[in-house]
Amino acid sequence: MSNSADPSMIGESTRGEDDIIKRIAAILGRSPIPRGERHIGDDAAILAPFVGQALISTDVAVLGVHLDGSLFPLEDLGFKAVASAVSDLAAMGGRPRGAVIAVSSPPGTDLEELHRGIADAAVITSCPIVGGDLTRGNDVSIAVTVFGECPGGDAVLRSGARAGEKILVSGPLGRSSAGLRRRRAGAPLQDELVVAHRRPWPRIAEGIAARGAGVSAMMDLSDGLGLDLHRLADASNVGFVLDRVPVAEGATESEATSGGEDYELLIVTPNVERLRMVFADRGLRQPISIGRIVDNVEERTLRGERFARDGWQHQL
């Protein structure tokens, strides 16, 4: 956590800023620090050497864009920011090693509440926050950069899918979108589907297992199957034929295909039996088969009909 004063904060009490940083560091310092590493407290973090390939990804979460502040507490924005970033590591079969965060917020923002959500996500994903920065801004936003590793150097890409291979997902879809709909209708924060929206769970164990099973392509479903499957097919220069969409209980098929923020894994493999065996051996929920890859890049269908390219996208 940087201790340098931001120019916009000149004139504020240095003691006040230092106190805020100390309180935040205490909130984030819930996980033991591995021997030889140095996390929050210096100008830069020190991490032990990475094993295999090093993975790096960045995500940004903005209040009012990624979370409705009139419906959800600020803690949830912090949680979602870290969880969505870690999900990118899971999508490549990676193991989290750490993250740095940069928070921008207007005066009066409850930074401790925000960082409690960040800390919760860091603990459940085993991805410690090793540093970061604070500054003043017009909106509450969190930029999260995560670091991970793939022992063996075999990170799974989007571009490896080949004709004849099977398409699977790690679980039913549409829970997050259904949860947002239910919250808008007055459902409590503890509602099961509402929790799926406000506290997404990155499929880290599933990603590592899929990589170990030798899958050919993979990505996380952050923007909806109707958009992300097309992205994977574009990267692999293939088409696809879907037989079904596994809709989560309480969700609609539209929410399952285009709602986004499920963070289940989209998996393509030449050997479904091996994938299922590895998942079973590790005590993981069995992945769900939904279709197959085809050569023709123009053939992209669901139950024989054109599968629309539809999902959540930023309006830039």
Tokens of 313: 């996208």
Determine the distance from the C-alpha atom of residue 127 to the mean position of all C-alpha atoms in its chain, rounded to a whole number.
12
- What fold characterizes domain 7-150? 60s Ribosomal Protein L30; Chain: A; (3.30.1330)
- Total-model pTM: 0.92
Determine the distance from the C-alpha atom of residue 180 to the mean position of all C-alpha atoms in its chain, rounded to a whole number.
17
Q: Is 146 exposed, middle or buried (0-12, 13-18, 19+ CB in 10 A)?
A: buried
Question: Maximum Cα–Cα distance for the chain, whole Å?
Answer: 65
Pinpoint the residues of the chain covered by CATH 3.30.1330.10.
7-150
- 47 pLDDT band, cuts 50/70/90, is very high
> What mean pLDDT do residues 223-228 have?
96
**Segment 291-316, tens digit of pLDDT:** 999 999 999 999 999 999 987 665 55
Specify the higher pLDDT residue, 316 or 175.
175
Superfamily grouping for domain 166-306? PurM-like C-terminal domain (3.90.650.10)
Pinpoint the residues of the chain covered by CATH 3.90.650.10.
166-306
> What mean pLDDT do residues 201-215 have?
98
> What mean pLDDT do residues 6-16 have?
43
Q: Left, alpha or beta for 243 (phi > 0: left; psi -120 to 50: alpha)? A: alpha
- 29 pLDDT band, cuts 50/70/90, is confident
Quick one: pLDDT at residue 312? Answer: 67
Q: pLDDT averaged over the chain? A: 93
